[in-house]
Chains A and B, each alone.
Chain A
C-alpha cells in the first residue's frame, strides 16, 4: 500500500479519526473529559504512548513475530509491549520531572488498557504500513484522539452551565455529542480515506 506519509498523517487526524470513526478508546474518553486541563494531559499521554508503541510494535512484529511464525500471538505481545513501555515511561518521568509526573502520571496507568493504542498497532499490521507510515499513522491517530477528547471536554464544560434534562445528563449527552462530532468529521472524508 503506497500512501503518501503526509496524507496518511492528516487522514489519521481528521478523516479516519481513531475515536470518531472507529470508536476506540471510549472508556477513558468518556471518563476523563470533564475538564479541559485533565483531558489535555491524558490526550498528550495518549499521543506520546501511541507514537512510541506503534514504532516499537512495528519492530516486534516484523523482527520477532514474523520470523518465529507466531503472528497469531500479536494481541498478547502488543499488550505486553504497551504495558512495559507505559511502566518504563512512568519511571522515567518520575525521575526527570515530578510536576509532569503528577499531572500526567495518574493518566499513564489508564493508557495501558486504552484500546485505541492497541488498535493502532493492529491496524498497522492489517494495512501493511511501512515503518515511516506506521509512525505517521500512530502520531496522527494520537493527535486525532487528543483533538476529539479536547473538543468533548470543551463542550462538556459549556454544557455544565446550562440546563440539561435529567434523562440526558452524564454519559448520555456525552455520547450524543460524540455522535454529532463524528458526523462533523465525516465532512472531511472527501479529502482522503485510509480504510
Chain B
C-alpha cells in the first residue's frame, strides 16, 4: 500500500519534473537572444542582454523614456522612433499610433522586445531626465483620501523642471506588492524651488502605489523617482487662462499658479475645481491667498453633491454648464485640464461647443 502510494507520487513527480526540465531547457535556448546593441541617435551605443522590453533595457541604462503606466502598454507615452530592428508593428501598439506615426516608424518602447541590434531615435532632452533620491520631510492629510508629500532631494540635490511636469515615483516591494511599481504623479510645488518637490496623491482603492504612499510611507523615509516628464506646460502667450481640475488634478495647476504668482503674471486666470462634497475641498486658504496675490485670478469650487443640510453657498452641479460664464472671448482663451480621461473628454466636448479649438486646449489625463 505505502509502496504503491510512494511509487505513484514518484512517477507523477518524475513526469512533472521531466516536463519542467524540458521547459527550462527550452527557455534558456529559445529565449536567449544573446548580447544586443542599441544605437541611440547614431551616437550613443549600449550593449545589453536581449529578451526584455526596450523600455526596461533603456531604463537599466539610465535613459528614462516617459511612461505613466509602468510598461503595461496602456498609456502610450513611451513612443520612440525605431529606425532598424524591433520586429513588426504589434496589435497592442496600434491604438496609440496615428497614420503619420506609423509612417515615421514610431513604436511603443514597452511593447518592443530587444531581440536583435536596434537603432532608435529619441528627443535629446530625454537625456536630461535623471534618477533622484529624496527624503520625505512631511506627509499632510488634505482630505480623507488625498495626501500631500514633501520630498527634499538628497541625490542629486536639485531638480530643474517646469510647472505642470510630472515625476515617476517608485514604490518598493512591500506587503501588498511583490514587485516594485512605478507610477506618475504631477509635481505640485513651484519650479523656482529646486531643492524639494511636493506631490499630491489621491488614494486609489487597491492601488499598489497609492496604498504604499498612504498607508506605509512615513516621514523620514527615503524615496526614489525619475523625472521630470511631460509637456503639459504654461503656454507663453497673453491669453486668458482657464484651469479645470478636480481631486489630485490640482497638483500641476497649483504648481502653475505659484509659478505665475512668483513671476507676477498679469494674465486673467480662473480655476474651476470640481469636487463631490465639502469634504473633498482642500487648499482653499491657499487659493484665497493666491486670489489676493495675483492680479486677475479667481478660484471657483463647484460641488456636485453637497451634503444635505450643509451651509454650502457656492456653485452646485457639474462643471460643464458653468464654463460659458467664465470664458470671455473664446479665441483669447487657453484651457488647461487635468483629471480622469472621462472628465477630460466631457470638458473638451463642451469647450468645442464654446468655440475653443484643440490648439487652445492643453491637458494631462491620469492613465
Chain A residues with CB under 8 Å of chain B are: 64, 68, 70, 73, 76-77, 80-81, 83-84, 87-88, 91-92, 94-95, 98-99, 102-103
Contacts and interface: CB of A to CB of B under 8 A. Distances in A.
B11 A88 contact: no
Interface of B: 8, 11-12, 15-16, 19-20, 22-23, 26-27, 30-31, 87-88, 90-92, 113
Contacts of A99: 88, 90-91
Contacts of B90: 98-99, 102
B87 A98 contact: yes
Contacts of B15: 64, 77, 80
A73 B11 contact: yes
Contacts of A88: 22-23, 26
7 contacts: A64-B15, A68-B11, A73-B8, A80-B15, A91-B27, A95-B31, A98-B113
Contacts of A81: 19
Q: Rank and list the top 8 A-B pairs by shortest CB-CB distance, nearest first.
A: A84-B19, A102-B90, A91-B30, A98-B87, A95-B30, A102-B91, A99-B88, A91-B26
A77 B92 CA distance: 35
A176 B12 CA distance: 41
Nearest to B86: A98
A103 B27 contact: no
Contacts of A92: 26, 30
A19 to B, nearest CB: 26
A103 B26 contact: no
Nearest to A37: B91
B18 to A, nearest CB: 9
Given A80-B16, A95-B30, A103 B23 contact: no
Nearest to B23: A87
A84 B22 contact: yes
A146 to B, nearest CB: 20
Output the residue of B15, B19, B88 with the most chain A CB within 10 A: B15
B12 A76 contact: yes
Contacts of B87: 98
A103 B91 contact: yes
A91 B87 CA distance: 16
A92 B31 CA distance: 9
A91 B31 contact: yes
Contacts of A76: 12
Nearest to A83: B19
B210 to A, nearest CB: 28
B92 A102 contact: yes
Given A76-B12, A98-B113, 19 more contacts: A68-B11, A73-B8, A77-B15, A80-B15, A80-B19, A84-B22, A84-B23, A87-B23, A88-B23, A88-B26, A91-B23, A91-B27, A92-B26, A94-B31, A98-B87, A99-B91, A102-B90, A102-B92, A103-B91
Contacts of A73: 8, 11-12
Contacts of B92: 102
Contacts of B26: 88, 91-92
B91 to A, nearest CB: 5
A92 B27 CA distance: 9
A98 B12 contact: no
B152 to A, nearest CB: 44
A95 B22 CA distance: 16
Contacts of A98: 87-88, 90, 113
A180 to B, nearest CB: 33
Nearest to A88: B26
A81 B87 CA distance: 31
A6 B30 CA distance: 37
A101 to B, nearest CB: 9
Contacts of A80: 12, 15-16, 19
Contacts of A64: 15
Contacts of B30: 91-92, 94-95
A57 B102 CA distance: 45
Contact of B12 (A77, A95, A103): A77
B8 A70 contact: yes
A80 B8 CA distance: 15
A43 to B, nearest CB: 17
A194 to B, nearest CB: 30
Nearest to A81: B19
A55 to B, nearest CB: 16
B351 to A, nearest CB: 32
A142 to B, nearest CB: 22
A87 B24 CA distance: 11
A7 B88 CA distance: 42
Nearest to A99: B88
B29 to A, nearest CB: 9
Contacts of B16: 80
A73 to B, nearest CB: 6
